[in-house]
Amino acid sequence: MTNFFFDLTHNNPDRFFLIAGPCVIEDLDTSLGIAKYLKQVTSDLGIPYIFKASYDKANRTSVQSFRGPGPERGLEILKQIKTELNIPVLSDIHLPDQAEKSARVLDIIQIPAFLCRQTDLILAACRTGKPVNIKKGQFLAPADCRNIVEKAESTGNRDIAITERGTCFGYNNLVVDFRSIQILRELGLPVIFDATHSVQLPGGSGNASAGERQFVAPLARAAVVCGAHGLFMETHPDPDKALCDGPNSIPLSQMKNLLTHLVNIRKVAGPSL
């Protein structure tokens, strides 16, 4: 039986894999354009690539915030991107009854950080048999993820990854403890580092989250050195006009240089500690 994450990490031991795309699906043209560009860049650099975009941001700060096109239209767009570009696609689910329908399109199902302890959600996602990426909650110690992994693997699904995305540090702030990557690696699963949500300032703009994208590159460099198997980044052609998480998204025009630099660091640092 093929294990998606195992293949990514063991068939490409000298390369990190990349999960990247816009925070939310704004429309087909924007999402498809981002995916095309990233596919070309990652192909040139030899980086395994997974396109990411949310079809519904159910945890936005304000009720007025843009949530996305919703499951029906969002999955249609993700299916078109997947088919046209022949790349795997990832999105998140927020309710157990979204799992089966999403699994018909998604190659990877993601569990949002705020929902990482929701047992029914994790079990529903894992029972689809699809690879599942579980984001570590901002409120959890990395060692606490062992309990989450046990929930996931109780379904018989072993195609699981854990994503580090920073830890609450007082009000409206996150901090990254890079010991976390090693602690999570000891669970025996692929470890992904979310370089863009780690610089988020939750609720920092009052009715929306703020962010400090100038710190994305140094945190990504550190994660590569510390042995992260994969990187997660949100990017947009014009982050200041993005409808979600623009302050912590990377301008699409900067992705090629950043990824090239990270590939060179991995060559020197090696794939593990």
As a whole-number percent, the residues of the chain with pLDDT over 90 amount to 85
What confidence score (pLDDT) does residue 12 get? 82
DSSP labels, 207-252 = SS-EE-GGGHHHHHHHHHHHT-SEEEEEEESSGGG-SSSGGGSEEG
Residue 245: both structure tokens together = 């998480």
Q: H/E/C letters for each residue in 51-118?
A: EECECCCCCCCCCCCCCCCCHHHHHHHHHHHHHHHCCCEEEECCCHHHHHHHHCCCCEEEECHHHCCC
Residue 273 reports pLDDT greater than 60: no
Residue 2 reports pLDDT greater than 80: no
Q: What is the average pLDDT score of the chain?
A: 94
How far apart CA 103 and CA 88 sit, in angstroms, is 12
So where are the chain's domains? 4-269
pLDDT-derived band of residue 272, with 50, 70 and 90 as boundaries?
A: low
State the pTM of this model. 0.96
pLDDT tens digits along 219-239: 999 999 999 999 999 999 999
How far apart CA 215 and CA 54 sit, in angstroms, is 23
CATH of domain 4-269: 3.20.20.70
pLDDT tens digits along 103-150: 999 999 999 999 999 999 999 999 999 999 999 999 999 999 999 999
Residue 13: both structure tokens together = 């031991």
Residue 207 reports pLDDT greater than 90: no
How far apart CA 77 and CA 16 sit, in angstroms, is 27
Residue 167: both structure tokens together = 């830890």
What confidence score (pLDDT) does residue 10 get? 87
pLDDT tens digits along 58-81: 877 778 778 899 999 999 999 999
User: Taking a C-beta distance cutoff of 8 angstroms, is the pair 169, 149 a contact?
Assistant: no
How far apart CA 153 and CA 217 sit, in angstroms, is 33
pLDDT tens digits along 141-179: 999 999 999 999 999 999 999 999 999 999 999 999 999
- Sequence-ordered list of residues with C-beta below 8 angstroms from that of 186, at least 6 positions apart, any chain: none
How far apart CA 144 and CA 269 sit, in angstroms, is 28
In this predicted structure, which of 47-51, 60-64, 79-83, 204-208 has the lowest mean pLDDT?
Answer: 204-208
What confidence score (pLDDT) does residue 59 get? 78
- Of 206, 207, 205, 214, the C-alpha closest to 249 is 214
pLDDT-derived band of residue 25, with 50, 70 and 90 as boundaries?
A: very high
Query: What does each C-alpha distance from 192 to 69, 160, 238, 253, 269 come to in angstroms?
Result: 27, 11, 25, 23, 17
Q: In angstroms, how far apart are the furthest CA atoms of the chain?
A: 48
How far apart CA 225 and CA 107 sit, in angstroms, is 28
